[in-house]
């Protein structure tokens, strides 16, 4: 299981300041035009995945264990955010970028409140930072992270309905890119300097990006993953 130390004060601020516009398109890969009453978004962060879900659901409950993330949530009329495990019944259970942080028994607990015919959706995205790292003369390193963690590895009696992966492209500026890069623990490790705090590190990274990148708008490619399960086989 991955550590959640990156979801402290600075992690939350980086999330608040920029996330790529990928949540709804990735969810759409599997959800298409399906409609749900209530989704539970486990590990909602500052709410980007909950907002993505709001396009398919009447209401969304965003749950996260990081008080820093919840402090910066994006308010939305359809979304309620909470730091307490909800004991309400939902017909869609979502793990967007959070499945690597929860245990099997957590997953079992969340499934208990899913309706009999409810669905589970697991999504993630992998950004291709290699062109940027090359410009910054940094050798890329692997994150050691499973972007397509499969719930069928657990003995949960779930049926995989669909598994999709597609390429996505988005544009951002250097400030947004610096926030994005600083949410990646492996990249943070590569650019970290001795005795430099997080605030200073983000200033150094932004200066390097502004000095080295050939244009103000940067095109970034990424891969989006989505798996949809039925509660019962
Ligand atoms: C990669 S972020 C994804 C945030 C959001 N879903 C998004 O797509 O923008 C993972 C989130 O999972 C949360 N998290 C980690 N472990 C958790 C747990 N056991 N229960 C609930 N949330 C958790 C973290 O605090 C963090 O906000």
The residue ranges of every structural domain in the chain are 5-127+145-171+221-230
CATH assignment of 5-127+145-171+221-230, among 3.90.1170.50, 3.90.330.10, 3.40.640.10, 3.40.50.150: 3.40.50.150
- The answer for residues whose C-beta is within 8 angstroms of residue 9's C-beta and 6 or more apart is 68
Q: Which atom of ligand 1 is nearest to the CA of 95?
A: 6
Taking the C-alpha atoms of residue 112 and residue 133, their distance in angstroms, rounded to an integer, is: 43
Atom from ligand 1 closest to the CA of residue 12: 27
Return the residue whose CA atom lies nearest to atom 15 of ligand 1: 101
Q: Which atom of ligand 1 is nearest to the CA of 7?
A: 25
Question: Ligand 1 centre and the CA of 98: distance in Å?
Answer: 5
Q: Which residue has the higher pLDDT, 164 or 152?
A: 164
Q: In ligand 1, which atom is closest to the CA atom of 19?
A: 9
First and final C-alpha spacing in the chain: 26
> In a mutational test of the pocket of ligand 1, which residue from 4, 98, 121 has the highest number of ligand atoms less than 8 Å from its CB?
98
Whether residue 4 has pLDDT greater than 60 = no
Backbone dihedral region of 151: left (phi > 0), alpha (psi from -120 to 50 degrees) or beta? Answer: alpha
Ligand 1 neighbourhood includes 20 CB (under 6 angstroms): no
Indicate the range of 8-22, 125-139, 183-197 predicted with least confidence: 183-197
User: Which pLDDT tens digit goes with each residue over 175-216?
Assistant: 999 999 999 988 988 888 777 788 899 999 999 999 999 888
């Amino acid at each position: 299981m991955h550590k959640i130390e990156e979801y402290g004060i600075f992690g939350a601020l980086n999330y608040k300041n920029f996330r790529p516009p990928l949540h709804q398109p990735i969810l759409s890969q599997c959800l298409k035009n399906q409609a749900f009453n209530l989704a539970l978004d486990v590990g909602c962060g500052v709410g980007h995945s909950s907002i993505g879900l709001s396009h398919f659901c009447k209401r969304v409950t965003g749950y996260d264990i990081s008080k820093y993330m919840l402090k910066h949530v994006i308010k939305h009329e359809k979304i309620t955010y909470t730091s307490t495990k909800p004991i309400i019944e939902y017909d869609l259970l979502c793990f967007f970028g959070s499945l690597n942080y929860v245990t099997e028994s957590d997953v079992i607990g969340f499934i208990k409140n899913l309706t009999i015919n409810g669905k589970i959706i697991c999504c993630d995205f992998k950004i291709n930072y290699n062109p940027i790292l090359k410009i910054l003369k940094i050798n890329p390193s692997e994150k050691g992270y499973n972007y397509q963690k499969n719930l069928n590895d657990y003995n949960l009696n779930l049926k995989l309905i669909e598994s999709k992966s597609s390429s996505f492209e988005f544009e951002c500026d250097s400030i947004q890119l610096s926030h994005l890069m600083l949410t990646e623990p492996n990249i943070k490790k590569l650019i970290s300097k001795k005795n430099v705090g997080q605030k200073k590190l983000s200033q150094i990274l932004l200066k390097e990006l502004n000095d080295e990148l050939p244009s103000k708008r940067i095109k970034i490619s990424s891969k989006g993953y989505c798996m949809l399960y039925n509660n019962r086989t």
